Amino acid sequence: MSWIRNRPLGIVLRVQLFLTLAVMSVVVVLSDLHSAISAMLGGMVSLISSAVFAIIISHHKGYTAGEAIRTAVRAELIKISLIVILLWIVFKNFEGINVFAFIGTFILTVLAHSMALFVSDNIK
């Protein structure tokens, strides 16, 4: 049994992982390993929070519009809270982080999460 049963969110998580790895690869070539690690951390903040969001959405059991909205709002609040906590952890514990690589990768992967609306749930 998969933790994420929502096909569009599963695809978006894979895209976020791919983007993180791609940015890391480019950054390590253009800069250094330290900057690549910063890019990885930025992508992981977004990826982890998106995964938690997807798990909550995938386990929604309500059938009314109100229940669906409550689940979506709760999942989004948890995602935002997790982002804030993870950003704080990174900035608190990693001195000398390459902020450009970190925030750039974070923003890129957050934008990729919004692309879930464009992924069809139909597998034909």
* Contact (CB, 8 A) for 38 and 93: no
pTM of this structure:
0.86
Asked whether the predicted pLDDT for residue 107 surpasses 70, the reply is yes
Domain ranges of the chain: 7-115
Asked whether the predicted pLDDT for residue 103 surpasses 70, the reply is yes
* Contact (CB, 8 A) for 16 and 53: no
Query: What is the CA angle 63-4-74, rounded to 5?
Result: 55
pLDDT tens readout for residues 10-47: 888 999 999 999 999 999 999 999 999 999 999 999 99
Asked whether the predicted pLDDT for residue 1 surpasses 60, the reply is no
| Portion of the chain with pLDDT greater than 70, in percent | 92
